């Protein structure tokens, strides 16, 4: 029993600090790529959304610079990701579309 508990503890220590934040960032990146492919996002909208993404990644790096991510920092990142998610949705569903390439 003790060996199993020790092994489980070791496995937990090697997990990402916050897979929720990382997974959300990845999902949002995929949503932006899909919006570009479908023509739902203009170049300017894409640029703005990617800029927001970059700012969140930089903020996360700054928070983790001391080797840990506090509960408050994690909450702040999730709030920023919520705002970005809303922005992605709004931009993908507005009337602006990327012009089709002329062949």
Residue with tokens 């739902």: 40
pTM of the model as a whole: 0.76
- 52-81 confidence digits (pLDDT tens): 999 999 999 999 999 999 999 999 999 999
Buried b (16+ CB within 10 A) or exposed e, 66-96: eeebeeebbebbeebbeebeeebeebbeeee
- 9-47 confidence digits (pLDDT tens): 544 544 455 569 999 999 999 999 999 999 999 999 999
| DSSP code of residue 93 | T
Burial of residue 19 (CB within 10 Å: 0-12, 13-18, 19+) is exposed
**Segments making up each domain of the chain, as ranges:** 19-92
The CA distances from residue 32 to 7, 21, 89, in Å, are 39, 17, 9
């Amino acid at each position: 029993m003790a060996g199993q508990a020790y092994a489980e503890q070791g496995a937990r220590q090697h997990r990402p600090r916050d897979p929720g934040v990382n997974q959300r960032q990845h999902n949002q990146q995929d949503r932006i790529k899909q919006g570009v492919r479908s023509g739902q996002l203009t170049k300017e909208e894409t640029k703005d959304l990617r800029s927001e993404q970059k700012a969140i990644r930089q903020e996360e790096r700054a928070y983790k610079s001391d080797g840990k991510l506090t509960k408050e920092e994690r909450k702040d990142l999730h709030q920023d990701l919520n705002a970005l998610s809303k922005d992605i949705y709004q931009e993908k569903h507005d009337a602006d579309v990327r012009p089709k390439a002329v062949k």
